[in-house]
Amino acid sequence: LIYDDTSSSSSDDEDEDDDDLGCLLRPNNSSSSLATAKNTPLLSRSIVHLDVDAFYCQCEEMSNPDLATKPFAVGQKHIIVTCNYIARSRGVSKLMLRTAAMKACPELIIIEGSDLEPYRRQARKIYNAFRTAVAALPGGTANFSKKGGMDEMYADVSAAVNSFLSSSKHATSNDVDMFVYGDDSSTRISIAEDQSGATTDLNDAASSFSCLSRDPDARTCWGNSVERDECRNRLHDVASKFAAMLRLAVKKETGFRACAGVSTSPMLSKLASDLRKPDSL
């Protein structure tokens, strides 16, 4: 589990929801909270980020299911906006020139995606399903949801976690299939930036640039080892269960597959959702 105190609170111009992303950044003041980190409210937060896999492509598959078994991409003007995972396995990537994509994969089907309205309609369905599922969690409307873009959304499920822990009389455990960053030191994880292609190795970054090793004051900001362990258990044993429920609810209601990331901030949960694409937690 990586801790970081930086988070983005900028709004999305395409967001039609009135919720403020700031609701995901405010300390959790629920009286039912079992967190002992009274002076470190960030440790008591549980944030879920949901990212729809190859969103434009899944939209096209809804209209034409035969595309699911073929390499195809969605293009706008002279570039590839996105492509399905079959095409990616054959050398096609986002923001490729159409000519380069066809050279890499001659059998590639390119669908024109300049008209965004069909994608916006599907995006509204997905977010409505997500928001409904968030409100149905323990704690109800005390859980916050926020749309981050057409194909991504956030939820602060801290209230659900607190409610579950307050009512649970037994030790929590989790059999949800998920990847936990840091559990396996042999796993190498890299994140690539779409437009520049720049990559970073999280394993090296975590060991070399830990906030706890950089800044002695961070040890106070992020609590003691007991508090950090408690935070990890909250995320692993409870919040991840709710994240799995949200993924399942969206898929059942809309048919769309998505990845989910769970952490203590919107930024870290977004990073987590990108670690093991597609269709993962």
Q: Is residue 14 annotated as a catalytic residue, yes or no? A: no
- Altogether, the residues listed in the chain come to a count of 281
Please identify which of the residues 60, 61, 152, 227 carries the catalytic annotation.
152
**Residue 221 near residue 6, CB atoms below 8 Å:** no
Give the number of other CB atoms < 10 A from CB of residue 164: 22
How many Cα atoms are found within 13 Å in the side-chain-facing hemisphere of 10? 7
**Residue 50 near residue 157, CB atoms below 8 Å:** no
Distance CA(184)–CA(202), nearest Å, equals 13
Closest CA to 151 of 65, 57, 84: 57
**Residue 128 near residue 17, CB atoms below 8 Å:** no
Distance CA(121)–CA(59), nearest Å, equals 10
Closest CA to 174 of 226, 229, 234, 225: 234
Give the number of other CB atoms < 10 A from CB of residue 53: 18
Secondary structure, 3-state, 126-154: HHHHHHHHHHCCCCHHHCEEEEEECCEEE
Closest CA to 133 of 29, 253, 228: 253
Active site amino acids: 152
